[in-house]
Structure 1
């Protein structure tokens, strides 16, 4: 603990307004609103399969991270003598492992494995390291939290990516239900409201993915090309994608607020609420694209 405290004190000693701004940008880049905007844009507008894969990896990492946090219940360095933490409003829950670090690692490892280009790899490594270091700079995590966030993020992203590729290719949906069941067994180890919520996220994705894959089957511009084409001259593509994103994000937000209003704060209802919310984002929003004729061949 003395070594970890010394590391936090080192970062505290080099703080400056410029570094504050830099590391705040790094840490904000993996907070929920930003992640939701980026992943939904990818899934609804740019490349459906890539978006599904990233979502599956992210939700898997969030579930693993929450389960470990709720099991170990490690305290944060916030309030430790000699430590002045920053942006503590977003440092909720337990400390080990770092959720920001693990989410950033999962997201960027997924992108690196998808695109396999040097510039994506360079940006990804920079973001992964930057987000992790930002949690130390802000003194909201211990070094061991960040280090394990990197390790877990890499392992889970690779594992869930391979599972998704296999399921998507062979339509072995039972594997997804098995994963949900295995994570549900975690309830015997952690009696946690937060864990129940993230279990709802995973359940909603699995149900939404299966329904979309079998019954909705919406398309994105580059689904059959294996890449995302940002240089298309077809203005209609841009217009349709703007409509898609606005319809999706507005109705998803309305769904969140509506469910929060009508459902009480209870373990069962929390699970149901988050299951419905993610199911709607994965299957319901694409169904709206069909309804509003926003799924035509480009």
Structure 2
């Protein structure tokens, strides 16, 4: 896809007319559309309100992110200011973030696409007016933050919003049927499907990317790993812990949230330090370790954290009989 002159005119105007407060606001809005931002939102819903909704939102946003990266590799539209070589000066992001983004393509915007899918589904699932207003604002803010920060064209945002909304509409209409079919599979088969699909799609993205294993395929494995972790951990949580997210007082709920987020983020950081000396980030082994790292983090978020805070009496469990507990072992959605 060729760069659009109108888009570049807008990009240059935005780069030349930033101010301190708007930049801080859009950096925060952009963070909401990062993996860490979704971890915070999904964890909040998971440990305080509705486990099933949280799991569905997590799977939806991870699948949307995977689809986004496949589309980026196919379209191969470089980010703004890449050809000019001025992106380090024109992008209002950290140098480390800029170097990572420079290896990826631009169209469609992952922030706009995943935010549109995630918050549109949330909007449709929750009737609370306050939550719906927040969902709409999140879609707008995360999307608009990217051109302002200089890392996406306005056209990338529009395309991302449209595709994300379509993904959400499909999910809203088909989620129950998909869930029923998925839950008929055995637990071992579910885990095998998650791992095999991740590997196949990773190889496909490498092929599309000209048999290069840097850039997009690497980012893809992080999302696929977290998704695999949820598929593995969710049935175990239901069959062995099955905590009630609405149980306990507000203070206990806040402690559950803080504990869960801390465990996931710390595990990602520690595993990164453990795995980094083993293999180069841009090697096959390095990518496999990244997949394992995010898979472990997914299991921790969905199963290990709930197990810990029920042991600490921060949440009550839903008591079920042995037969029902066994039947839940294969449930993921």
TM-score computed with the length of structure 1 as normaliser = 0.81
The offset of 1:169, in angstroms, is 6.0
Q: Is the 8 A contact 2:243 2:317 kept in 1?
A: no
Aligned-partner Cα distance in 2 for 1:159–1:206: 20
Selected match of 1:133 from 133, 144, 147: 144
> Which residue does 2:209 correspond to in 1?
none
1:27-71 C-alpha deviation (Å, 9 max, x unpaired): 233233333222212212232222212211121122222232344
> Which residue does 1:100 correspond to in 2?
111
The offset of 1:115, in angstroms, is 1.1
Segment drifting more, 253-262 vs 107-116: 253-262
1:177-226 C-alpha deviation (Å, 9 max, x unpaired): 6576555432332122322232212211111222223332111117xxxx
Selected match of 1:245 from 236, 254, 257: 257
**In the alignment, structure 1 residue 278 sits paired with structure 2 residue 289:** no
Aligned CA distance change for structure 1 residues 243 and 127 (closer, same or farther; 3 Å): closer
**In the alignment, structure 1 residue 189 sits paired with structure 2 residue 204:** yes
Aligned-partner Cα distance in 1 for 2:172–2:243: 21
Q: Is the 8 A contact 1:180 1:202 kept in 2?
A: no
Aligned-partner Cα distance in 1 for 2:287–2:22: 41
SS at match of 1:283: helix
Aligned CA distance change for structure 1 residues 98 and 49 (closer, same or farther; 3 Å): same
Alignment of 1:13-32 (within 5 A): 14-32=17-35
Structure 1 residues without counterparts, runs of 5 or longer? 223-235
Alignment of 1:65-144 (within 5 A): 65-79=68-82, 81=84, 84-87=90-93, 89=95, 90-91=97-98, 92=101, 93-144=104-155
TM-score computed with the length of structure 2 as normaliser = 0.73
Aligned-partner Cα distance in 1 for 2:291–2:58: 18
SS at match of 1:189: helix
SS at match of 2:113: helix
Aligned-partner Cα distance in 2 for 1:114–1:181: 30
> Which residue does 1:226 correspond to in 2?
none
Structure 2 residues without counterparts, runs of 5 or longer? 207-216, 280-285, 319-333
Selected match of 2:237 from 206, 212, 216: 212
Segment drifting more, 48-57 vs 8-17: 8-17
The offset of 1:275, in angstroms, is 1.0
Aligned-partner Cα distance in 1 for 2:110–2:264: 23
Aligned CA distance change for structure 1 residues 152 and 9 (closer, same or farther; 3 Å): same
Q: Is the 8 A contact 1:63 1:198 kept in 2?
A: yes
> Which residue does 2:53 correspond to in 1?
50
The offset of 1:173, in angstroms, is 5.3
> Which residue does 1:296 correspond to in 2?
316
Q: How many residues align?
A: 285
1:129-176 C-alpha deviation (Å, 9 max, x unpaired): 232222122221122321221122222333345555445567625396
